[in-house]
């Protein structure tokens, strides 16, 4: 593939008497241009159709070089699904005009994204975004100084499930503690009752004896043993 540049030759009267033609081989240049166009289309399509929400921004600095705002330059289709905001309403807008509450929200996203855009250090974090009342899992990186790309997903449903699971676990632990305390109190009362009745049996002036099916003594109180001329421990196992 060639490119031609023709320049006419003229005589003193201005009459064309010839043509100087210069030809350049632009095959590689055209191929490179086509490859670049194809690559741009490929990545633009990937950006547009990826399932993760993506947005391209430019950071805005004050006179002292401090990040104070950022402009939304481009977003993909998933951005609309994850935020509920329409593409045509956000592109070209300053985030402080679009969501005034962002200045008071925690974390301080303007400062965080500003650091990414100015230092090139990427970040990943998960946070509750009050202006949209949603939880997001976010990653941000810097494609060139002064600009940053944010990739994010709405994880509100996951956070709500985690909170419900946490509450259920806390309730279960509370019930286990209550039940354990009840059992401890019951055991203490049972032990106290047993000790009380044992004292009554052992000190009562009447003989009390317990035998198994073979007739062997399994228990007798002091009064019973004394009646038979024995001590309590000497009665164990005897048959009457």
pLDDT of residue 62: 93
User: pLDDT per position in the chain (240 positions), as tens?
Assistant: 666 677 776 777 778 777 666 666 666 666 656 555 544 555 566 556 677 899 999 999 999 999 999 999 999 988 988 888 898 999 999 999 988 888 888 889 999 999 999 999 999 999 888 888 889 999 999 999 999 999 998 888 887 887 788 888 888 888 888 888 888 888 887 787 777 667 777 778 888 888 888 888 888 888 888 887 887 777 777 776
pLDDT of residue 41: 53
pLDDT of residue 118: 95
Which residues fall within 8 angstroms of residue 215, CB to CB, at 6 or more apart? 239, 240
Enter the pTM of the model.
0.53
pLDDT of residue 95: 93
């Amino acid at each position: 593939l060639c490119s031609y540049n023709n320049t006419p030759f003229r005589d003193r009267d201005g009459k064309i008497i010839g043509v100087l033609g210069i030809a350049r081989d632009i095959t590689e240049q055209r191929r490179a241009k086509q490859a670049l166009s194809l690559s741009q289309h490929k990545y633009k399509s990937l950006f547009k159709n990826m399932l993760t929400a993506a947005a391209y921004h430019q950071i805005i600095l004050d006179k002292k070089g401090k990040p104070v705002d950022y402009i939304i330059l481009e977003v993909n289709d998933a951005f609309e699904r994850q935020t509920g905001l329409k593409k045509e309403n956000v592109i070209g807008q300053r985030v402080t005009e679009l969501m005034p509450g962002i200045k008071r929200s925690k974390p301080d996203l303007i400062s965080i994204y500003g650091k990414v855009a100015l230092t090139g250090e990427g970040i990943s974090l998960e946070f509750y975004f009050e202006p949209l009342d949603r939880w997001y899992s976010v990653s941000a990186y810097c494609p060139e100084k002064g600009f940053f790309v944010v990739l994010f997903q709405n994880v509100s449903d996951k956070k709500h499930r985690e909170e419900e699971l946490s509450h259920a676990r806390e309730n279960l632990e509370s019930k286990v503690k209550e039940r354990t305390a009840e059992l401890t109190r019951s055991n203490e009362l049972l032990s106290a009752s047993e000790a009380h009745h044992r004292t009554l049996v052992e000190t009562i002036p009447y003989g009390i004896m317990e035998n198994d099916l073979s007739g062997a003594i399994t228990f007798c109180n002091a009064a019973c043993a004394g009646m038979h001329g024995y001590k309590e421990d000497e009665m164990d196992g005897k048959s009457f």
